[in-house]
A = this chain, B = another copy of it.
Amino acid sequence: MSDHPITPGGRHLLESLRLQLPGLKKSEGKVAAVILEDPNRLLHITVAELARLADVSQPTVVRFCATMECDGFQDLKIRLAQSLTLGTPATQSAIAQTDTADVVVEKIFDYTMTSLDWARHHIDMSQMDAAVEIIIHAKQLEIFGFGASGIVAQDLQQKFPLLGLPCNATLDSHQQLMAVSMMDTRGVVVAISNTGSTNSIIELARLAQERGVKVIAMTGAADSSLGDHVDVLLNVETLDNTDLFTPTTSRIAALVISDILSTLVARRRGTTHNEKLVAMKRRLSQARRAGSL
């Protein structure tokens, strides 16, 4: 990502607002508090009204805009509007038993999209590039994961046409051990664990490295112990909270990373490879039309 996660003038106004709150002057703090209290309200009020709500003068509001690196009050509104589209803080709240079905749908979508946006702004491109580099030179991919991460593993495996090399997704710990034992140094292990602390996955990574096999890890926790035994750590930060009903967005973010990874690799493969892809897609749709699928 070219721009850094938290730039005051950047897209994530609400985020940076909350971050800057403690360091603000007293009056500007009052303004910030009013905005955070109900961000949607701001979109339809004037400087005068905001000044009245925060109990400060109008110029203070204008000065506050400048502090937030906005080009005037209108610009603040627009920045906030953009920031607000992705999950209002209020909407991020947990799902309550009393919510109607409509609200549940709304909240889950909001939550998922906000989480994806978060992941997007926390991607480490250098690690991504490193992963692509490793896969480009690999002859075989062994993908490991359990539970939800097993789903991700299979999804990545299904992208082998894009990746352009044989891929296995192994979800059984015994078979995983066997697979690693039989690999040569031209193979690459992709270890997927959302927590990054699944013991058997860590052990597999260690073993692979010991045998000279390169390891790419996909995880949702940067400082996990899995990170100690890998060549590349694709960290997929999400907002997973531990609430009972909150869906696990980590797996969805991981799928997007899987999309990105396979696309980046395919791009590097060159024209002849892409021609094969086109032919493959054509045959698939022909088979469908012919009724054989």
Question: A residues near B, CB below 8 A?
Answer: 1-2, 11, 43-44, 71, 74-75, 77-78, 81-82, 84-86, 95, 97, 99, 101-102, 104-106, 108-109, 112-113, 116-117, 119-120, 123, 125, 128-129, 132, 146-148, 150-151, 154-155, 158, 195, 197-200, 242, 244-245, 247-248, 251-252, 255-256, 259-260, 263-264, 266-267, 274, 277-278, 281, 288, 291-293
Contacts and interface: CB of A to CB of B under 8 A. Distances in A.
Contacts of A251: 155, 255
A105 B1 contact: yes
Contacts of A248: 259
A128 B71 CA distance: 45
A248 B281 CA distance: 13
Nearest to A258: B247
Closest 8 CB pairs of A and B: A247-B259, A81-B81, A85-B85, A109-B120, A82-B85, A78-B81, A81-B82, A108-B260
Given A105-B128, A109-B119, A244-B274, 14 more contacts: A11-B85, A43-B78, A44-B75, A77-B78, A82-B85, A99-B267, A105-B125, A105-B260, A109-B256, A113-B113, A113-B116, A245-B266, A247-B256, A252-B255
28 contacts: A1-B105, A11-B85, A44-B75, A77-B77, A78-B78, A82-B85, A85-B86, A95-B263, A99-B267, A101-B128, A101-B129, A104-B263, A106-B120, A108-B263, A109-B120, A112-B256, A113-B113, A116-B116, A148-B155, A155-B251, A195-B288, A198-B288, A199-B292, A244-B278, A245-B267, A247-B256, A252-B255, A252-B256
A267 B97 contact: yes
A70 B293 CA distance: 49
Contact of A199 (B71, B74, B82, B291): B291
Contacts of A78: 43, 77-78, 81
A49 B86 CA distance: 29
A92 to B, nearest CB: 15
Given A244-B277, A263-B104, A288 B197 contact: yes
Nearest to A201: B293
B113 A117 contact: yes
Contacts of A77: 74, 77-78
A112 B105 contact: no
B125 A102 contact: yes
A83 to B, nearest CB: 8
Contacts of A81: 78, 81-82, 85
